[in-house]
Amino acid sequence: MRDPTSFLKKEYQDLVDQSLDWRIAKLQGASTPWCNVDGKRVLMFCSNNYLSLSNHPHMKELAKRAVDTHGVGSGSVRPIAGTMDLHLELEERLAKFKGRPASLVYQTGFAANSGLIPQLAGKGDLIISDELNHGSIIDGVRLTSADRAIFKHCDIDDLALKLEEAERKDPAYRRILIITDGVFSMDEDMAPLDRMAKLAKDHGAMLYVDDAHGEGVLGEGGRGIVSHFGLGHNDVQVEMGTFSKAFGVVGGHVSGSQDLKNFALNKSRTWLLSGSHPPAVAAACIGAIDVLENEPQHVRNLWKRTDRFRKAMRDLGFDTGRSVTPIIPVMVGDSAKAKRLSERLYQEGIFALPIVFPMVAKDKARIRTIMNAALTDEDLDFAVGKFEMIGRELGII
């Protein structure tokens, strides 16, 4: 009898043979600059925990207190009986922090994109998306019945061309939605959001930015890419983000007008049909906003570490791509060589994973390093020394 699941093993083996498979490492303990991975003490160089807040004492205290007062779960989805006072407090605090009229918290950033995008544009509409947008945006766009256009990565001229072509359509589109990442997590560059906002306004289009890697990193006190460019809520209609990176917890959210919040909570099935965050998660996210508002040194320290490491790597001859953010790639090209570099780094005490196809093009494999505000100068010197030694060993520099 034919095994209907035989393709699973074959397709996985194909990935292994091409050095494209993921092998899950086990983090034993907290996500800190030095931690235990698979039983070995290593320097963590691939966590999104930019500000090292996941172990912040204030946030842990609020999470513990929430368990005592609210239990370990909400018991329902948000629209029925799962919206607690903590969820509402978090949304109020987040909106104030972002300088927006309203915010809505989703279970994850992926849920925000895949749940809201299909509702913002449908039949008779057009979505224009950057070619390197995150997979959650791509999946959200695929769920729509809207027409789609892709513009070249961060190419304002090509975006303008797509908008001009759209305006010539007869009958005209009901609405046009431009979507972009703020910080591109694989190429580590930043969208020219100020110029995009002007184009969107000139053409009467909505602008949606996924700021997952900008929040806590860019802008005044870590308020994100909209703040970084000095834009307002009339310039960028939808600001999406997550709590799972610089905020150090987990969850997604959108910020914008009160109308946007009302629309999203009534239309997004990922929000309507998923259980709400446990009280401890909501409380810890509130604590993260407290920290960002009251301890600005974390963002400053992150950028000091970023500038130091990137300069040292470039001085050695490493290709760090287009990076202008605390995500600093070490470009390798070949997937097998990128995996070998990662393996050797781990042997020498650095945990930094390879990024290979399909996350990036087949000839664009890299080690993606991510800076952390709690790293010391000694940590960075240690890492640079190991990269230099192994980079020469493998012929990368």
Is there a cis peptide before residue 192, judged by omega within 30 degrees of 0? no
CA-CA distances (angstroms) from residue 66 to 77, 146, 189, 371? 18, 42, 38, 30
Q: What is the DSSP secondary structure assignment for residue 276, as one 8-state letter? A: P
Partners of 365 in beta bridges: 333
Contacts of 118 (CB under 8 A, 6+ apart): 140, 143, 144
Q: Which entry of 74, 185, 276, 342 is annotated as an active-site residue?
A: 185
Q: What is the DSSP secondary structure assignment for residue 78, as one 8-state letter? A: I
Establish whether 323 is a catalytic residue. no
Side by side, the strands of the sheet bearing 34-37 are 34-37, 40-44, 350-351
Contacts of 308 (CB under 8 A, 6+ apart): 377, 380
How many of the other CB atoms lie within 10 Å of CB of 16? 10
Q: Measured in whole angstroms, how far is the alpha carbon of residue 224 from the centre of its chain? A: 12
Q: What is the largest CA-CA distance in the chain?
A: 65
Contacts of 172 (CB under 8 A, 6+ apart): none
Which residue has 């580590």 as its token pair?
Answer: 188
Q: Measured in whole angstroms, how far is the alpha carbon of residue 279 from the centre of its chain? A: 23
* Amino acid present at 155: D
Q: Which entry of 87, 213, 228, 339 is annotated as an active-site residue?
A: 213
Establish whether 253 is a catalytic residue. no
Residue 59: burial class (beta carbons within 10 Å; 0-12, 13-18, 19+): buried
Give me the sign of the Cα torsion angle 213, 219, 222, 223: negative
Establish whether 261 is a catalytic residue. no
Which residue has 């000839």 as its token pair?
Answer: 363
Please state whether beta strands 126-130 and 147-151 pair in parallel, antiparallel, or not at all (unpaired): parallel
Contact of 87 with 102, CB cutoff 8 Å:
no
Please state whether beta strands 34-37 and 40-44 pair in parallel, antiparallel, or not at all (unpaired): antiparallel
Q: Which entry of 228, 233, 245, 364 is annotated as an active-site residue?
A: 245
Contacts of 14 (CB under 8 A, 6+ apart): none
Q: Which residues are catalytic?
A: 185, 213, 245
